[in-house]
Amino acid sequence: MVRLFILPALPLLTLQAVDFNKEVRPLLASKCYACHGPDEEGRKAKLRLDLREGALKNEVIVPGKVEESEFHYRIRSDDPEEIMPPPESHATLTEKEKELLEKWIKEGAEYDKHWAFVAPVASDPPAKGSEWVRNEIDSFIIANLKKHDLKPSAQADGYSLVRRLYLDLVGLPPTPEQADAFVGDIRPDAYERLVEELLVSPHYGEKWAREWLDLARYADSNGYEKDRPRNIWPYRDWVIRALNADMPYDQFTIEQLAGDMLPNATQEQKTATGFHRNTQLNEEGGIDPLEFRFYAAVDRVATTGTVWMGLTTGCAQCHTHKYDPITHDEYFGLMGLLDNVDEPDLLLYTDAQTKQKSDLEQQIDDKIKELTENNADFDQAFASWRKTEEKKATPWGTLKPDSMKTNLPKLEIMEDGSIFSSGDVTKRDVFDLNFTSKQPITALRLEVLPDDRLPNRGPGRCYYEGRKGDFFLSEFIVKSKGRKFRISNPSSTYGKISVGSGASASNVSDGIGSSGWSTSGQEGKANHLVLPLEKSIPADTPFSVRLLFERHFAASLGRFRISATSTANLPTVSKIGVKAEHILSLKETAKPKDLSALRSIYLEKVYLERPAPTRNAIVLKNTQWIWNAKGNRPRETLYFSKQFDLKELPQSAEIFFTCDDDVEFFLNGDSIGTTDLWSKPVTTPIKTLFRKGVNFLTAKASNQAGPAGLIAQLSLKLKNGNVQRITSDQSWKFSSQLSNPQTKDWHTRVLPNAKTAVVVGKYGDGPWGKLNLPKGNPSKKPNPITKLRNRLPRPNHTLVMLERPPDNPRPTLLRHRGEYTSPKHAVPAGIPEIFELQSRKEPVNRLEFARWLASPDNPLGDRVAVNRAWRSFFGYGLIRTNGDFGTQAPAPDHPELLDWLAVEFRKNGTSLKKLHRLIVTSSTYRQDSKASPSLLEKDPQNRLLARGPRFRLSGELIRDHMLKASGKLSAKMFGPGVYPPQPLTVLAHAFGNKSWNASKGEDRYRRSVYTFIKRTAPFAGFMTFDGTSGENCLAKRDRSNTPLQALALLNDEMFLELARAAGKEVHLQKKDPVLTLFRRFLTRPPSTEEREALQAYLDRQIERLSRGELKPSEIAADKKANPELAGKVLLARAIMNLDEALTKP
């Protein structure tokens, strides 16, 4: 069949060649790709128009020959069976669009890569030709303005410029004095000098860190239903320090994505990997932990795509999308690059803590030497004890497995014979260990051991409902040749589970998976379990040990060791510890270094723990157990305080105390003793810590779960022979949260946010009973070694990434339609084909991927970075979709400028400070932000940049601005999140911990970057102004203007407090209230009209206050306030609510 088709004369659209990316690709994508694009499932007729080789097949398109192209016939056809797009698609081409496509074919039908996937090339900036041009940015901008018949605006006035610079670079307003100094500086480089001053300010890192933390989805809680607090603030502090130090952006990238994989990685580089530990963590019971770690991996791919590739990846998670350049398989290849990780905690010692730890360890060694040499009876006592204990000591030998198998975790044998577990965990983990012993075995011993790599130092891997480092051993099963060996009378050094009952050693051999052994409350400490066998295992007989961990959450062991003995006696646990028992079992073969170690253990654990001669000690009947509520309690820590007065110092004093579960007591800030088991109370004398007048007896008490209580009796013997007793009762105060519990402050003043203690029982009542305390209660002197050990600093910790070992990689499976429950084939790690590798091998791990992302080979990385910076200064990026540079994104407003900046950024060593300096020193940035009606009509969104930037500040910057202007801002940097005041109802419907105890002292007034972020109830003052919850990566905050914002500024507790502080300071200093407050909050001097209006407002308010319409004491929160003071508070409040106070000029 011969087709006859009359080709119409093509009108001359333009002398300029058709631009495929700007004109043709969007047209094909919107009209054709749905049926003829990359989506294999939706593709029809096996035709791809998204690839040139596909379009040229079967003469669909014949380059240069329109009339020979089937494509041309189809778009021009009148036959509903032949025309493309088909009528049912409702994607009809206009005549102009058809002519454009035909012109493109005539010109050769060339396909260009999407502009964003081509490496940026710097165009030569247009010739200056104007005094207005200060740098290359201005050359590009003014050339574009001329094309649109526009001129740049005049430079902003000095006060606007200084305020704009301060707010943009350090996020704080200048003081009136700083503003006047700049305006009065007549040096030609005054502006540049101010820029340099602000770039080196420590506040620079705080301001820009807050913007980065939006991308990092930083929060101080885990999210989901439990939403418990987490420790990741060291990562936030790392970001601030890195930005202040102007760490090159490529290094900044590599350390956050793969700092742990760098050679000889430092503590700081490991901390940086917290970037991808900011994912949410679900601690709900009954969930599959592997499912939610998959969701965390999905979040990491999405975040990496947004932050460094400027691409959305959500569609490719489920299928190959017709518009996205990433296929379904390539999506999981990206996941493979990021997902081969374990997720430990990193212990962090500050330099001061490291020195303190070293000094105390030396003091401990010196004290041990002093006490062993200077106690006349020590050698004799040690020899006698050793002789007795050697007879009872059981010789144990460590068993090393012949082979190991698990359901999923990776087991590794350490040098000391212990076994370390890493990798993924489930709610039912099984460890199968196979052994052969040359000796018969009568009993086995399981040691559970701490390790810095484990949550809370272990020994378990549990990370559920705050029980970090716990484990739950359901069954310990011994078999040989199919025969099960029964366990008889097992024993343990300690046993307790977090919730419920049933933690005894016998539970591991009862055949019931729901019962078991745990050492909850002893995290970070070693314990052991001894398991005698009813019948011994013969020598040289292969046997297996199965450890079963079954719970409604993952709760397997992280580090453990299995030993065996051939002794005929029934072994039991060693009260003095495994190491001492081993040395004792060596008897005469013990080496000198072993005996030295044994002497130290004996000194600390036995010799110094000997009770003093028995004497009468009485616990009064009215001594009561106290806590915050009766009944079973969750895992929690409370801070108790009892204030008492002394007219004279006591001649002697003694305290009795214990706690379910553990407590440390303090007198006037000094530690006076600890307990770690409620059934072992402490009775200890106190000597020199009292003082005349007010004294504070305080305690830090913790409960792991179940019944909870604290009991104490302080007995003071006075000069007249009388005994004054202070006992625990309802007069004690407690707090559930302190901002800095590690400091001494709370021990020596009234407890902040205190509540009255609740009596939960009297001494002698259940469930505690009499604590086995006879009237002749033995007492002992404080153990000097234990006191020194109690002073050892406790390190902070933070969440980090750790690459899995090469022999245990995590396979990445394609998940059909992105569903965790639909795994398919394995996918190799790699980057999408759209990115051409320039003489580099394919990245196969996180470090190689990070280096590629940070290299010029990634055509998007530098563009995304400079676009993000541009948006921070001008309110909009050069490309409006900040996190999406893909094929569906709009073209850049200034493409040549975007690419020039990207190339310049790379040339300058990816220095963010140099980039920021370049932007703020341009004339483009310095323009007045006022717009004439004609300019607003031509360019309402300021895309052409014919005026300066003006937009509302973020919620965090508004608060920081008000703190600084009111004189309350604290300069304190770094550390755990703080709790500024907010309405208590904010947390009413939140999950997890619902308390928000507002910080006291300077922590109440710290910069907003340090505010604690709870995902299910973010800080209300920030969310009102479009803040973030930290649940997802946020490339761009929306800006809304709502009545609620005005109400918050008028009535929020924090803003009221700041208005009162500003008004009071002005009142006390007897300064002109209108001028002083106006300049503090708005920087510039007021006009005559503004000054008169504000003075009239102040006069009216004072008059109202004087007439009693308003109460000065309520307005100023001061009983002694007069109308003048309260009026100035109202004036401050009014100025704080002006639009200009919330807006960058």
Q: Percent of the chain at pLDDT above 90?
A: 63
Over range 724-747, report the average pLDDT: 82
Q: From residue 950, give the alpha-carbon distance in Å to each of 155, 267, 419, 592, 1090.
A: 14, 41, 61, 77, 21
Q: Percent of the chain at pLDDT above 70?
A: 95
Nearest CA to 249 out of 199, 169, 296, 307 is that of: 307
Q: Of the ranges 333-342, 661-670, 835-844, 1132-1141, which one carries the lowest mean pLDDT score?
A: 835-844
The pair phi, psi for residue 829, each rounded to 5°, is -70, 145
Residue type, 460: G
Nearest CA to 491 out of 394, 606, 574, 582 is that of: 574
Burial class (CB in 10 A: 0-12, 13-18, 19+), 988: exposed
Same domain, 675 and 644: yes
Q: How many CB atoms lie within 10 A of CB 89?
A: 12
Same domain, 629 and 770: yes
- Torsion, Cα 678 679 680 681, to 10 degrees, reads 70
Same domain, 437 and 471: yes
Cα–Cα–Cα angle for 880, 884, 889, rounded to 5 degrees: 65
Please list, in sequence order, all residues whose beta carbon lies within 8 angstroms of the beta carbon of residue 138, skipping any fewer than 6 positions away: 130, 132, 922, 923, 924
Per-residue pLDDT tens over the stretch 684-717 = 888 788 989 899 999 999 887 778 899 999 999 8
- Secondary element (H or E) of residue 956: helix 955-966
Q: Of the ranges 166-175, 509-518, 621-630, 831-840, which one carries the lowest mean pLDDT score?
A: 831-840
Over range 901-915, report the average pLDDT: 98
More confident residue, 985 or 300: 300
Same domain, 629 and 681: yes
Q: Does residue 1117 come out as left (phi exceeding 0), alpha (psi in the -120 to 50 range) or beta?
A: left
User: Is the residue at 998 inside a domain?
Assistant: no
More confident residue, 766 or 1136: 1136
Q: From residue 408, give the alpha-carbon distance in Å to each of 194, 504, 553, 554, 808.
A: 59, 27, 15, 12, 10
Taking the mean position of all CA atoms in its chain, how far away is CA 996? 19
Over range 137-157, report the average pLDDT: 95
Query: pLDDT at residue 66 above 70?
Result: yes
Please list, in sequence order, all residues whose beta carbon lies within 8 angstroms of the beta carbon of residue 71, skipping any fewer than 6 positions away: 55, 60, 61, 84, 101, 105
Query: pLDDT at residue 244 above 70?
Result: yes
The segment with the largest mean pLDDT, out of 485-489, 688-692, 738-742, is 485-489
Please list, in sequence order, all residues whose beta carbon lies within 8 angstroms of the beta carbon of residue 93, skipping any fewer than 6 positions away: 27, 31, 75, 85, 101
pLDDT range class, residue 295, cuts 50, 70, 90: very high
User: Is the residue at 751 inside a domain?
Assistant: yes
User: Is the residue at 756 inside a domain?
Assistant: yes
Omega cis (within 30) before 120 = no
Q: What is the pLDDT of residue 774?
A: 40
Per-residue pLDDT tens over the stretch 227-242 = 889 999 999 999 999 9
Q: How many residues does the chain have?
A: 1145
For strands 823-826 and 813-815, give the pairing. Answer: antiparallel
User: Is the residue at 952 inside a domain?
Assistant: no
What is the 3 state secondary structure string of 430-446? EEEEEEECCCCEEEEEE
Distance separating alpha carbons of residues 611 and 614, to the nearest angstrom: 8
Give the chain's domain count.
6
What is the 3 state secondary structure string of 825-884? EECCCCCCCCCCCCCCCCCCCHHHHHHHHCCCCCCCHHHHHHHHHHHHHHCCCCCCCCCC
Same domain, 813 and 761: no
CATH of the domain at 717: 2.60.120.260
Nearest CA to 1136 out of 1099, 1101, 1094, 1103 is that of: 1094
Q: What is the pLDDT of residue 502?
A: 55
pTM exceeds 0.85: no
Residue 578 three-state SS? helix
User: Is the residue at 1010 inside a domain?
Assistant: no
Residue 160, domain extent: 153-199
Beta bridge partners of 420: 412, 559
Same domain, 288 and 402: no
Same domain, 181 and 302: no
More confident residue, 990 or 812: 812
Nearest CA to 494 out of 465, 471, 513, 461 is that of: 471
Q: What is the pLDDT of residue 8?
A: 46
Distance separating alpha carbons of residues 55 and 48, to the nearest angstrom: 6
Distance separating alpha carbons of residues 878 and 897, to the nearest angstrom: 8
Cβ atoms of 1117 and 1060 closer than 8 Å: yes
More confident residue, 514 or 220: 220
Distance separating alpha carbons of residues 792 and 795, to the nearest angstrom: 9
User: Is the residue at 867 inside a domain?
Assistant: no
Same domain, 730 and 670: yes
Q: What is the pLDDT of residue 323?
A: 65
Q: What is the pLDDT of residue 154?
A: 96
pLDDT range class, residue 3, cuts 50, 70, 90: very low
pLDDT range class, residue 487, cuts 50, 70, 90: very high
- Torsion, Cα 228 233 236 241, to 10 degrees, reads 180
Beta bridge partners of 564: 397, 444
Same domain, 805 and 769: no
More confident residue, 498 or 24: 24
Query: pLDDT at residue 615 above 70?
Result: no
What is the 3 state secondary structure string of 402-461? CEEEECCCEEEECCCCCEEEECCCCCEEEEEEEEECCCCEEEEEEEECCCCCCHHHCCEC
Q: What is the pLDDT of residue 1122?
A: 95
- Which of 859, 890, 911 represents a domain boundary (last residue)? 859
- Which of 728, 753, 779 represents a domain boundary (last residue)? 779
- Secondary element (H or E) of residue 734: strand 733-735
Nearest CA to 472 out of 449, 496, 444, 445 is that of: 496
Question: Which DSSP symbol is given to 803?
Answer: E
More confident residue, 31 or 836: 31
Residue 701 three-state SS? strand
User: Is the residue at 341 inside a domain?
Assistant: yes
Over range 1043-1059, report the average pLDDT: 93
Same domain, 322 and 402: no
Nearest CA to 479 out of 424, 412, 533 is that of: 533
User: Is the residue at 106 inside a domain?
Assistant: yes
Same domain, 331 and 445: no
Average pLDDT value over all residues in the chain: 90
CATH of the domain at 512: 2.60.120
- Which of 133, 166, 199 represents a domain boundary (last residue)? 199
Per-residue pLDDT tens over the stretch 367-384 = 999 998 888 889 999 999
Structure-block tokens of residue 73:
């016939």
Q: What is the pLDDT of residue 744?
A: 72
Q: What is the pLDDT of residue 616?
A: 45
End-to-end, the C-alpha distance of the chain in Å comes to 72
Nearest CA to 1030 out of 170, 235, 206 is that of: 235
Same domain, 768 and 817: no
Query: pLDDT at residue 475 above 80?
Result: yes
Cβ atoms of 17 and 107 closer than 8 Å: yes
Distance separating alpha carbons of residues 306 and 365, to the nearest angstrom: 54
Cβ atoms of 513 and 478 closer than 8 Å: no
Omega cis (within 30) before 125 = no
Q: What is the pLDDT of residue 771?
A: 67
Per-residue pLDDT tens over the stretch 197-219 = 999 999 999 999 999 999 999 99
